[in-house]
Structure 1
């Protein structure tokens, strides 16, 4: 029997065989097991998980009900391609999921393997239905890594550097995030200014009648966990409707209960035409879906959007079990309730520490800015010191945009674990304020 290998040994074995393009580097650990809101690495060290596998394990790790569903289905049938035939779990899941879509009337879906291909599908179906080519998306967006989804993304230069030309017909406009807001600018003035920036392409070089779809994250994920102002979303939506443009939302990161509702768009009272779902849909197993008004979803014929393994029996069984857990354990309410507790904690910490800037929390879905108190600008070094110290103290959190703490624990996290997390942050914040923290040796490799 092979001797158990530790983090260092496993990473040394992986390194020569693994592309550096395929992982954003943070900590030198290898995840070996997980339970609920905790993960354990190959060294046997356990951490509170504040990342939830990039919001892909909202129901926590190895939930017994989901594990059983996977095991039972695997014993019956692991795979038969839905490109040709339905399977029992897939056939049952499709109407259950479409019934949850925040869209009136008949709704249909198509399966995929990841949020990336679900966003590709939005482009495909929108172009087919409208007969138009152009797509509008937003700065700060992360929609995925396939060529279509990476073309509509705008969160990292390494998602376009050296891989062009990207998909043609894509125009990006500024997302109304808090870093765009001017000092002393009112909410109304901010919305008006950002909407003017949104309209500028349409007024100068982009004919509205040639735009198929506007794709937006109502609450951006990797762009910093930030909710667009309600009034802005409504202005964009009204503009789309007035010009025959489809309105599509990316719910891959922010859906499946993350924000205290099934879908982040429900915070705005708007019905999208199309939406992408992934990540936590099957508790992290490779399953995604594009959902939309049935007439749009039937504007293409097969095989315009089929995949050999998409919607397979095991992943769809896991998705049904995931939905059971969200419903039976009232995870939407838990997200809202525990998110309010977390928001209070970080707001109070902000009063105590001048390096904490904006605090955004939408359910258990938070972005906390770390700033230079003298300039008010983002402090990437301080952020890296903080997340690394939190890691050393027993919790996993990463940064976004260099200076944003990404707070997305599994929705099953207990109040006891949440309080333990706050004590870890208390220590890390206090040590940073006293100048006791230093950068890790590989700081230049860490982060997006």
Structure 2
């Protein structure tokens, strides 16, 4: 029995089935840059970046040193009662990076989930209204507020209701909802009419506190909101006194070729949630927004014992250094163009590759049945498992979408090798050489 197998065997009786989306039977033991190593010593090119939580790669020397230096001085003293030096320096630096005009403030959290909870809190407090509008396909987190705003998996609802009251879902304008021969403008008009329907029938617009949206959905399939649709939602929200809030947890910090995904639209949010890569994967998040909104609550309405602690904020300071000094936002845009060209070329070779969506080094690639164009979950599972066998880590979303999100520090050579692996997997599938892994029924969302 190898170390991977032994560790998983020992963990199994003590670990909840609710706490991991299963893919491959490995245990990650170490990582460097865009390479991770399992407990048996196997190396993999990481095409997932820990769910876009390690944009700066694994064990970046500057981030590691910041963590080590801070841990040697002070690991924790609750920011709930006293400031610490690293958090005090990080707050204005991060606030200045937010795509929001005027005075900006923030409040710390431990994960993207509680940052989205905080959006709900502050929006309700500031407006005095109860309803929060979110979208189908959204993943905002797993705390009760964020999971109530999410709509990407039935297992985020089964057996745990009732959910947070006052949450309203509207359909996200997925490209696969576009009708045959429907123009972009007609599609946007139809989806916007569906957005307005609740406010015309059962949800008074004057009682809605905020609209919460991922400008580019992450776990919903890596798909960008149509620009004209986003503008209509933005205008409608502000016309009716609703705050416009964006979730940047998955798609922020350079992932899309810009600092924030909302910058692709030229719009300023009132509130935004940040997490995952802000501290290179350490547990830190923030809700950031207009200062008057962030001061609409008094403590301890959004206080956590460890949120904004010295070590995580030191890691975040170093993370921002790396993104700026190594020009990772620009690198994401540049490498994203290479990745888009690769997948578009593969699409011409292999009819089972459907829609290719790439925004920075950040993509969703649909795998379909060439005969019908329908989603092909089995084919996708065969492909990701073959990629794994060939030495790279990639997973599926929505059953048939390849999730392509390498660390932004991936080298040109590593990216070329990843393309070779993907092409080999596609070729093997086209030749009928692939079969489903034994645990296929357990794999994926």
How big is the shift at 1:85? 0.5
Structure-1 separation of matches of 2:89 and 2:338: 37
Structure-2 separation of matches of 1:108 and 1:403: 40
Matched, 1:335 2:305: no
Normalised to the residue count of structure 2, the TM-score between the two structures is 1.00
Equivalent residues in 2 for 1:20-169, closer than 5 Å: 20-169=17-166
1:321 to 315, 318, 321: 318
The answer for unaligned runs of 5 or more in structure 1 is: none
Structure-2 separation of matches of 1:427 and 1:313: 45
Aligned-partner SS, 1:78: coil
How big is the shift at 1:179? 1.4
1:414 to 399, 411, 416: 411
Structure-1 separation of matches of 2:378 and 2:395: 13
Structure-2 separation of matches of 1:332 and 1:395: 23
Equivalent residues in 2 for 1:141-290, closer than 5 Å: 141-290=138-287
Equivalent residues in 2 for 1:298-313, closer than 5 Å: 298-313=295-310
Residue deviations 1:204-248, cap 9 Å, x none?
Answer: 111100000000000000000000100000000000010000000
Structure-1 separation of matches of 2:403 and 2:186: 28
Structure-2 separation of matches of 1:24 and 1:5: 22
Matched, 1:360 2:375: no
Aligned-partner SS, 1:386: helix
- When residues 5 and 90 of structure 1 are mapped into structure 2, their CA distance, relative to the original with a 3 A threshold, is farther
Matched, 1:17 2:37: no
Q: Displaced runs of 4+ in structure 1, greater than 3 A?
A: none
**Where does residue 382 of structure 1 map in the other structure?**
379
Residue deviations 1:21-74, cap 9 Å, x none?
Answer: 000000000000000000000010000000000000000000000000000000
The answer for unaligned runs of 5 or more in structure 2 is: none
Structure-2 separation of matches of 1:195 and 1:143: 22
**Where does residue 344 of structure 1 map in the other structure?**
341
Residue deviations 1:420-439, cap 9 Å, x none?
Answer: 00110111001111111000
How big is the shift at 1:5? 6.5
Q: CA RMSD in A?
A: 0.7
Count of residue pairs brought into register by the alignment: 445
Matched, 1:429 2:426: yes
How big is the shift at 1:184? 1.2
**Where does residue 396 of structure 2 map in the other structure?**
399
Normalised to the residue count of structure 1, the TM-score between the two structures is 0.99
Of the structure 1 ranges 436-445 and 178-187, higher mean CA displacement relative to structure 2 is found in 178-187
Aligned-partner SS, 1:241: helix
How big is the shift at 1:164? 0.1
Structure-1 separation of matches of 2:98 and 2:363: 24
Structure-2 separation of matches of 1:352 and 1:401: 24
Residue deviations 1:363-386, cap 9 Å, x none?
Answer: 000000000011101100000000
How big is the shift at 1:178? 1.0
How big is the shift at 1:362? 0.3
Structure-1 separation of matches of 2:314 and 2:86: 5
2:292 to 292, 295, 320: 295
Aligned-partner SS, 2:65: helix
Aligned-partner SS, 1:161: coil
Residue deviations 1:243-277, cap 9 Å, x none?
Answer: 00000000000001100111000000000000000
